[in-house]
Amino acid sequence: MLHPQVRAFLDFLASSGAPLLHQMSVREAREFARARRSLSQPMPPAVASVEDLAAPGPLGPIPLRSYRPYGAAATAVLPVLVFFHGGGWVIGDLDTHDTLCRQLANFSGCAVIAVDYRMGPENRFPAAVDDAIAATRWVSAQGAALRIDPTRLAVGGDSAGGNLAAVVSIDARDNAGPAIAFQLLVYPATDLTRSLPSHVENGEGYFLTRATMDYFIGNYIADPKQYTDWRASPLLHQDLSRLPPALVITAGFDPLRDEGAAYAKRMTAAGNRAAYVCFTRQIHGFIGNGRIFDEANTAVALAAAELRRALGRAE
């Protein structure tokens, strides 16, 4: 069953008459994603510091935002999570995921560096992948300047961001680093062919619809032949061995549920340590909405605890 809070949210959306994301222009969808933060997200918690940075990228600087957890000394060398926001590779930015990054920093004791990668339709696949890889390499190389420990570096993200984190981990394995100690994959998109049953079971009525997926993927991927490129669909990579330990979180009423579960299963079968947790009463996108969904706060606490356990405390 759906969580009653989720049912109330979906009923509210249905009665509001508001257009769905795929019925908006890209500009409108981006503005909507920013505007709804105040309705569904918790108040942004205080952290020790927030700093906007930039990493060199393939086509210019990549904006970043660095968070240090509340109470961390300015000189402390911290573990770090490189975080990629969700939004279908089309919407979302540093602001839409600001609260989540603050929560993860405070609860885990890690620094968090969020990446504002290029998105479609202005910059199509593999632009987001190229930026994610470049940003992760830069963060790893800047340990002293950023006061982070590159030997305790994790990658993570939600939805499209989980996809990018998985792809960055495979690329790092195959291209001599950087060393990645942990993956935090929150309802990751891992198979753009969308052939698993949850895309049919949960394709209508649960916020992320099949039409919305068509909208996102259509604005991200120019040629459907690229759906099977492992950089778009990491589940389709032939070799998922020798990857960092992972926590994969999914939602029971999410079209992406089965591909997240399949990715965790394949990583485990390939000899990696991969934990899998499904919040069976939730929908796609729930983790950022702790103002209206109690289980969102549980998921954030779980993710942060696993980060802390995998990366260790700050020096």
Catalytic residue among 85, 97, 237, 284: 284
pLDDT tens digits along 274-302: 999 999 999 999 999 999 999 999 999 99
Let me know: does 132 contact 84? Beta carbons within 8 Å: yes
Residue 49 corresponds to which tokens in the numbers above? 């510091």
Let me know: does 27 contact 307? Beta carbons within 8 Å: no
308 CB contacts (<8 Å, ≥6 apart)? Answer: 107, 108, 109, 110
Catalytic residue among 93, 229, 254, 258: 254
Mean pLDDT of 220-226: 97
Mean pLDDT of 134-142: 98
Look at the chain and count its residues.
Answer: 315
Which fold, 4-311?
Answer: Rossmann fold (3.40.50)
pLDDT tens digits along 24-54: 999 999 999 999 888 899 999 999 999 999 9
pTM over 0.85: yes
Catalytic residue among 108, 159, 169, 198: 159
Whether residue 284 lies in the annotated active site: yes
> Domain locations in the chain?
4-311
**What does the alpha-carbon distance between residue 158 and residue 247 come to, in Å, rounded to a whole number?**
12
pLDDT tens digits along 236-281: 999 999 999 999 999 999 999 999 999 999 999 999 999 999 999 9
pLDDT at residue 226 greater than cutoff 50? yes
Mean pLDDT of 186-214: 98
Cα separations (Å) of 83 from 86, 94, 157, 245, 272?
Answer: 10, 10, 5, 16, 21
Mean pLDDT of 167-179: 97
pLDDT at residue 162 greater than cutoff 70? yes
Whether residue 159 lies in the annotated active site: yes
From 248, 243, 244, 245, select the one nearest 303 (Cα to Cα): 248
pLDDT at residue 181 greater than cutoff 50? yes
Reported as half-sphere exposure (CB side, CA atoms, 13 A), residue 159 has a value of 22
Q: What is the mean pLDDT of the chain?
A: 97
Confidence grade of residue 315 (pLDDT, cut at 50, 70, 90):
very low
Residue 217 corresponds to which tokens in the numbers above? 């993927």
pLDDT at residue 314 greater than cutoff 80? no
pLDDT given at position 186: 99
